[in-house]
Structure 1
Amino acid sequence: MSEKILLEVCVDSPEGLDAAISGGADRIELCSALETGGLTPSPGLMALAAKAPIPVYAMIRSRPGDFIYGDEDMAALLADIDAVRSAGLEGVVLGANRADGSLDRDVLARLADHAKGLGKTLHRAFDLAGSDFAAAIDLAVELGFERILTSGGETTALRGLDALAACFVHAGDRITIMPGSGVNLETLDAIRTRLPFREIHSSCSVAADATAGKALELGFVSHRPKRTDEGIVRAIKARLAA
């Protein structure tokens, strides 16, 4: 029997959390504000997710924008890791870059050490290190990360297949490479044909109706909102099991 392929679903709301679990997700990446790429979830959402029957990893990203962090940022990031531990979640999702796009060894080492005892995923800050993915993989292994979420440096995993294939070769069995970005029912088969992944990441989302009225007008609601769809989670799981 072939090894089970794990599906990680990113969510940013109680409804999304419920849909992902009900659809059969194997792990949750818990965020707020997915429309900005995901930020640290609120304490309330973490408390709710701590009751989930599957592992939950929380995004550690205190603000939108780049992943270049100064001392003020670090104080917030370290406190966010403390909040994840206090909530009882299984792990954290981290990333940090230097101005040239390479991974910031010093910042990552400090964050990883602070997260000792928690599972650790290196997020798509990795994708900015495209001039030397091999060195970035080696650093992630050295710092004790379990996996790297990556699109191969492209806007979607489908576009980054060549780079992703090279990452799988370099990583070997030292660390898990988890393709993500643009992973859906339309692209899954092409990605699976090319890459020997054992874990994959998807939002499993559909377009949601934008809230009409004053909330939209005042900018409180995204103009193109999405929501996690239980049926898509279930369909991707079935496709992976086929």
Structure 2
Amino acid sequence: MPVSLEVCVDSVDGLEAAIAGGADRIELCSALELGGLTPTPGLIAAAARAPIPVYAMIRPHARSFEWSSADAVAMLAEIDAVRAAGLAGVVLGAALPDGNLDVALLRTLCERAREGHGLGTALHRVFDLVPDPARALEEAIALGFERILTSGGAARAVDGLAMLGDLARRSAGRIAIMPGSGVSADNVARIVEATGATQVHASCREALAQRDGKGVALGFFPAHPGRTSQHLVEAFKQALDSVS
């Protein structure tokens, strides 16, 4: 079975590079250096013209996965904006103070996403912080998520293969388990063979030189910038072809 590639991007040029490189789906974000936040209206508008499915991250800030009532209102508005733009879906996550999934809020967000012209829904790596992955898996299935993006609770998916494999077995085809974090053309074959994954997630980013030291010092630019590389996406797809 072919293995599909989802590429996370946070800019218009990254979006174009991922599409040109052969990505099968886009996770659209802003601020990937923070793990990905809700994309800007301009980026959403550009993504609406993409020839492949685009799922937008719904994450209003990077302080926590515990959302206040004001955060929840903002997330509902962001979901509405994504639907109005005509994107394919949204990427969601919410946690309680004890680390378990905030099922009540996730249900509200999923229900909003499925109103009218229904959006697909994916659960992001909030899953990697839950104390009981087996319980969270069943909750995600009951909420109707299409897939779970997870590293198997490790910093890198290649180090979480045991949990990823266990989740795949437990899911029994009821939901897709999509390995992500540190997945590259060099290790994706090992990850797919160990987990049976039919879709994987990667950034396919290349490092850029940061020349403006003052801009970094003043907090304007990241110390280690990167951008989506068409060539890395192409290399990733070639690696997947050999696995398939």
TM over 0.5: yes
1:66 corresponds to 2:98: no
Q: Any idea what SS the aligned residue of 1:158 has?
A: helix
Structure 1: how far apart are the matches of 2:146 and 2:156?
22
Structure 2: how far apart are the matches of 1:217 and 1:101?
34
* Match runs of 1:1-242 below 5 Å: 3-116=1-114, 117-129=118-130, 131-242=131-242
Equivalent AA in structure 2 for residue 181 of structure 1: S
Structure 2: how far apart are the matches of 1:213 and 1:95?
35
Structure 2: how far apart are the matches of 1:96 and 1:211?
37
Assess if the C-alpha contact under 8 Å between 1:151 and 1:180 holds in 2: yes
Which runs of 5 or more structure 2 residues have no equivalent in the other structure?
A: none
Structure 2: how far apart are the matches of 1:185 and 1:236?
4
Equivalent AA in structure 2 for residue 218 of structure 1: L
| Cα drift, residue 190 of structure 1 | 2.1
Assess if the C-alpha contact under 8 Å between 2:91 and 2:122 holds in 1: yes
Q: Deviations over 1:188-215 (max 9, x none)?
A: 2221231100000000111112141543
Equivalent AA in structure 1 for residue 154 of structure 2: E
Assess if the C-alpha contact under 8 Å between 1:40 and 1:61 holds in 2: yes
Q: Any idea what SS the aligned residue of 2:227 has?
A: strand
Q: Deviations over 1:115-166 (max 9, x none)?
A: 111000000011111x311111111111111000000111110111111111
| Cα drift, residue 224 of structure 1 | 0.4
TM-score (norm 2): 0.96
Number of positions where the alignment pairs a residue of Structure 1 with one of Structure 2: 239
Equivalent AA in structure 1 for residue 120 of structure 2: G
- Higher mean C-alpha deviation, range 39-48 or range 132-141: 132-141
TM-score (norm 1): 0.96
Assess if the C-alpha contact under 8 Å between 2:192 and 2:198 holds in 1: no
Q: Deviations over 1:31-51 (max 9, x none)?
A: 000000000000100000000
Equivalent AA in structure 2 for residue 95 of structure 1: G
Assess if the C-alpha contact under 8 Å between 2:54 and 2:89 holds in 1: yes
Which runs of 5 or more structure 1 residues have no equivalent in the other structure?
A: none
Structure 2: how far apart are the matches of 1:43 and 1:211?
29
Assess if the C-alpha contact under 8 Å between 1:121 and 1:145 holds in 2: yes
Q: CA RMSD in A?
A: 1.0
| Cα drift, residue 231 of structure 1 | 0.6
Q: Deviations over 1:93-128 (max 9, x none)?
A: 000011111101111111111111100000001111
